[in-house]
Amino acid sequence: GFPNQSRFPWHKLQRFPNVFCLDHYAEGHDNHYDNQVARVYVKDSRLFYSFSESTKELVQEGEFLQSFYVQIAPSTVNIRKLEDEEDKLTSMLQELAHKRSPYGDVYHRCIALEFSVMYMARSAIHQTARHVHMSTIDKYPHGLKYLLEVAKSIYVINDSFVDCLTNLSNLDELEECKLHFCHRMKHVFETTYHMWRDLPNSWDSQHKSAWASRLKSAWASQLKSLIHFYILAYTNSAIEAIGFTSLNHLHLEHCPRLESIMPRNCALPRLTTLNILFC
C-alpha cells in the first residue's frame, strides 16, 4: 500500500506494466487483484493531476493502460457498505413483491418494485476493460478530465459535489454509465458552448454532434436533484444536440425532479429499453 502517495508522474511515462497495483487501502482491507489489469485504489483524485492530454494520447495509441480499474473513494469500506445495502434492499423487494398483499394497491406497487429490481438485475452495467469507480463525499474530484476521456465505463455512487457528469470530462469513449445517490446532479450530460468550441476545428458539425455516440447503457437511481438526463445548454443554430446513436438501454428511477430526458431534436435510433420508475 501507498498511504502517503498523493502524486504520480503520469506525464513522464513512456512505458507501463500491464499488471500494476497501487492501493491506498491495502493495509487492513481485503481488495482482490485477480484480473490481469492495472489497478489503482486511491482516497482522492490528486493522484491523477499529472494525467495529461499527452498521457491520454499514449493510452489511445495503445502504448499502455489498455486495461485498468480505478477506484477513487475516501474509504473502500463505505463503498462496500453501500453496495451491500443495495443488495439487501434488492433481496427484500424481490421477496416482498412475490408475496401477494390483501391490499390491491400495495400489491401493484410491489409488482412495480419487482419489475424495477428484476430489470436492474438483467441490465447491470457492464464493467469494461477501462473502468472508473468513484465515491466523492468529502471533496470535488478535480483532475480527472483526461483519465475519464479514455474510460469506457463509469460508476459513481454516493457523490455530494458533481452537478453534471460532463463537467468532469468530455467522456469521449464512454460506453457504460451507472449513477447512484448523486445528491447534487442536475444533468447527466450537457452540451455547452465551451465544450463545443474545444472540440477539434477539423471536425464538421455532424462529427461534433456525434461525439457521445458510443454510450450504450445508462442507469441512474436516487438522483434527487436530476432535472434532465441530457440538456443542450447553449442555444445556437450552429450547435446541435449530441447524438446518442448507440444507446440501447436507459433506466431512470427515483428521480423526483426529472422534467425531460432528451431535447426534441435528439434521436435515439437504437434504443430498445427505456424504463422510468418513480420519477
Q: Judge if 206 and 252 occupy the same domain.
A: yes
| Inside any domain, residue 3 | no
* Residue (of 159, 234, 240) closest to 193 by Cα position: 234
Same domain, 69 and 183: yes
Asked if 109 and 229 sit in the same domain, the reply is no
Distances (CA, A) of 116 to 89, 122, 123, 274: 12, 10, 11, 12
- Provide the residue range defining the domain that includes 33: 10-75+128-277
Asked whether the beta carbons of 99 and 162 are under 8 A apart, the reply is: no
Q: How far apart are CA 244 and CA 216, in angstroms?
A: 8
3-state secondary structure of 215: coil
Same domain, 114 and 214: no
Share of the chain above pLDDT 90, in %: 34
The residue ranking higher by pLDDT, 241 or 33, is: 241
Ranges of H-type helices in the chain: 53-60, 76-98, 104-122, 145-148, 193-198, 205-208
Whether 28 maps to a domain, the answer reads yes
Residues 267 and 279: their CA atoms lie apart, in Å, by 22
66 and 88 share one domain: no
Q: 89 and 201: one domain?
A: no
Q: Is residue 175 in a domain?
A: yes
Same domain, 222 and 140: yes
Residues 38 and 135 in one domain: yes
Tell me: the pLDDT tens digits for 96-151?
555 655 554 554 555 555 545 444 444 456 778 899 999 987 788 999 999 999 99
* Domain co-membership, 148 together with 220: yes
Candidates 190, 195, 213; CA nearest to 267 is 213
One domain, residues 163 and 112: no
1 occurs within a structural domain? no
Domain membership of residue 183 (yes or no) is yes
Q: How many CA atoms lie within 13 A of 55 on its CB side?
A: 20
Instruction: Classify residue 155 as exposed, middle or buried by CB count within 10 Å of its CB (0-12, 13-18, 19+).
Output: buried
Task: State yes or no: pLDDT of 68 exceeds 60.
Answer: yes
Q: Specify whether 111 is located in the same domain as 155.
A: no
Provide the terminal-to-terminal Cα distance of the chain, rounded to the nearest Å: 43
Average per-residue pLDDT in the chain? 76
Residue of 129, 143, 149 whose CA lies nearest to 195: 149
Burial degree of 263 (CB within 10 A; 0-12, 13-18, 19+):
middle
- Quick one: 270 and 202 in the same domain? yes
Q: What is the pTM of this model?
A: 0.77
Whether 136 maps to a domain, the answer reads yes
Tally the domains of the chain.
Answer: 2
